[in-house]
Chains A and B, each alone.
Chain A
Amino acid sequence: MVERRPMSNLLAHAILWAGIAIVVFPVYFTIIASTHTPQDIFNGTMGFLPGGVPTDNYVAALFAGAKQVKTTPATVMMLNSLIMALMIAVGKIAISIVSAYAVVYFRFWGRMAAFWTIFVTLMLPVEVRIYPTYKVVADLGLLDSYLGLSVPLIASATATLLFRQFFMTIPDELVEASKMDGAGPMRFFWDTVVPLSRTNMAALFVILFIYGWNQYLWPLLITTDAGMDTIIVGIRRQIVTSDANTDWHIVMATAVLAMLPPVAVVVLMQRLFVKGLVETEK
């Protein structure tokens, strides 16, 4: 459009840069802090530029954890987080895709009841039912275990709904053609439905991985063994209320480590991420 407003574009750039500055600043600062010695930080002489010990803190965080408050090394914690996030992401996708397949492609007694049973779970995040769920997990003997960390979080329905919506858009003719070719339901599933769902699965994976990795309340409750800490919980444990005893340099390094995988996933798989975000909220 012909627009005689030269300030408009300039203003747009300015505002966007301000926005980016606000958004990026805390993280920038964290990275800077993670490269300084604890003395620098404690004395408040850190400044805004990288410090002299770029890798020391990371090495310490990765292999030793905080010193003043005994915590787990970041390598262990990241492994815990990774396992938990992967189990949640993969688990949720797996059970949801077959459930959605059953609901869409079969007519069986109790189908609508099953669907609504699953659908209702959309509404209640885990935070609302923490203690009773904790009791169930404890009774099953799953405290301090990877299964206990992940399985209760697989319950909700977002992925199922997404797959169901997607399956409804697959043309009926494909099913008919498959049947004429002699394929049974599982064949159709593996040969046709799954390949078609690939992008949806990838997009979901991104969202669910981030969801799983960033879990806080649930892992906090379920694990008492410090060796099972996820990195998000671990950071919290490193902070003591009287700040004189917090190893901020370690905390900052651990925080950067905690942010790396999900941020990397978002940035590298941006398009899938946006797709996943938009689809799961419909």
Chain B
Amino acid sequence: MRKVGFNNRWLPYLLIAPQIAITLVFFYWPASQAVWQSFLIQDAFGTTTEFVWFENYQGLFKDGAYFNALGVTIVFSTAVAALSLGVALLLAVQADKRIRGAGPYKTLLMWPYAVAPAVAGVLWLFMFQPSLGVLAQQLRNMGVDWNPLLNGTHAMILVVIAATWKQISYNFLFFLAGLQSIPKSLIEAAAIDGAGPMRRFWTVVFPLLSPTAFFLLVVNVVYVFFDTFGIIDAVTHGGPARATETLVFKVFQDGRLGGDLGGSAAQSVILMVIVIALTAVQFKYIERKVHY
């Protein structure tokens, strides 16, 4: 990679050892364990194990609960991604207009990133709590029988709101950076060519923003798949009746209850494959992104 360097024999190995060691012990070993276990079945007492190729995976695909979790995760990611990207883009476009106070707006909009997902969940839970939540009261005043503890759709809405709320600031920051990297002269050229603000946005700004948008889409989906565990656990615990049980949550639950080690491992492996696919897509697309 570099043309100049040092010629020490053992120093580089020493330097790289800590990270390699930790990576092997806490990453590759567990990951390969998961893959290995996904091909095994243990009997009820955990005394014998049997190598069964893809039986565990087949079992998953026949499992209604698994498909439920898959569906929940897809709905969840689509909703959160669409909402948080849309709102963030709107806010970023306004902040980019170079109005007075753009700096303070930016500060005020960026700090939710620092709030832990679990805490975000708790905050929104508190406001939408069926009995004493202030927003729940408003809803009831409007005639809605709001109860996320019993109504699966309500629970999903609550969780979507909490997850979206947290993601807005992250997306906002990246959209703003993307907008500010578009050369001002392009906008001016479009204005001279006769384009008004809306047309400029859709024909010039948005196409140039699409790499950022795509990148954020992938990041948001990964976020929803994994980082939202805290929100789900804090707010709905996967319920009611699995209405908010995402794939990650299911892995956690199944593992806790013990028993189906192989199935739980298979779920983990499937998740790994999904993430790798998403990351690969992201890397490949980013390569093609630079326009000028």
Contacts and interface: CB of A to CB of B under 8 A. Distances in A.
Interface string B81-123: 0000001001100110101010001011111111111111011
A63 interface: no
Given A8-B197, A46-B134, A278-B174, A266 B113 contact: yes
Contacts, number: 296
Given A106-B6, A265-B114, 12 more contacts: A99-B18, A102-B16, A111-B12, A117-B24, A128-B248, A131-B251, A136-B29, A216-B116, A217-B229, A232-B119, A259-B116, A278-B173
- 4 closest Cβ contacts across the A-B interface? A132-B30, A214-B116, A262-B114, A216-B230
Interface in A13-61: 13, 15-16, 19-20, 22-24, 26-27, 29-30, 33, 41-44, 46, 48
Contacts of A19: 87, 90-91, 94, 109, 168
B177 A22 contact: no
Given A99-B16, A214-B117, A154 B22 contact: yes
Interface in A145-168: 151-152, 154-156, 160, 168
A221 to B, nearest CB: 8
Contacts of A194: none
A243 B275 contact: no
Interface string B28-66: 111101100100000000000000000000000000000
A38 to B, nearest CB: 10
A121 B23 contact: yes
Interface in A124-138: 124-125, 127-133, 135-137
Given A16-B95, A172-B2, A236-B122, A267 B15 contact: no
B214 to A, nearest CB: 13
23 contacts: A1-B187, A27-B115, A95-B19, A98-B15, A104-B1, A106-B12, A117-B24, A122-B279, A123-B276, A127-B226, A129-B268, A131-B264, A135-B30, A135-B33, A155-B26, A156-B27, A186-B11, A214-B230, A216-B116, A216-B229, A236-B118, A263-B111, A266-B110
Interface stretch (B67-75, B124-132, B152-160): B124-132
Contacts of A20: 105, 108-109
A72 interface: no
B114 A130 contact: no
A69 interface: no
Contacts of B117: 214, 216
A176 interface: yes
B122 A132 contact: no
Interface in A183-225: 184-186, 188, 210, 213-217, 220
A30 B174 contact: no
A235 B109 contact: no
Given A130-B252, A278-B177, A210 B197 contact: no
Main secondary structure of the interface of A (DSSP, over half): helix
For chain B, give the interface size range: 35 or more
B240 to A, nearest CB: 11
B211 to A, nearest CB: 12
A129 B272 CA distance: 8
A277 interface: yes
Contacts of A277: 113, 170, 173-174
B230 A27 contact: no
Interface string B209-225: 00000010001001000
Interface residues of A, number: 103
Interface string B157-189: 000000001001110011001000000000110
Interface in B229-275: 229-230, 233-234, 237, 248, 251-252, 255, 264-265, 268, 271-272, 275
Contact of B132 (A41, A155, A175): A41
Contacts of A127: 226-227, 229, 248, 251, 271
A42 B132 contact: yes
Contacts of A48: 134
A132 B34 contact: yes
B115 A1 contact: no
Given A131-B34, A263-B111, A136 B25 contact: yes
B18 to A, nearest CB: 4
A241 B191 CA distance: 57
B279 A128 contact: no
A22 B226 contact: no
A239 B2 CA distance: 54
A141 to B, nearest CB: 13
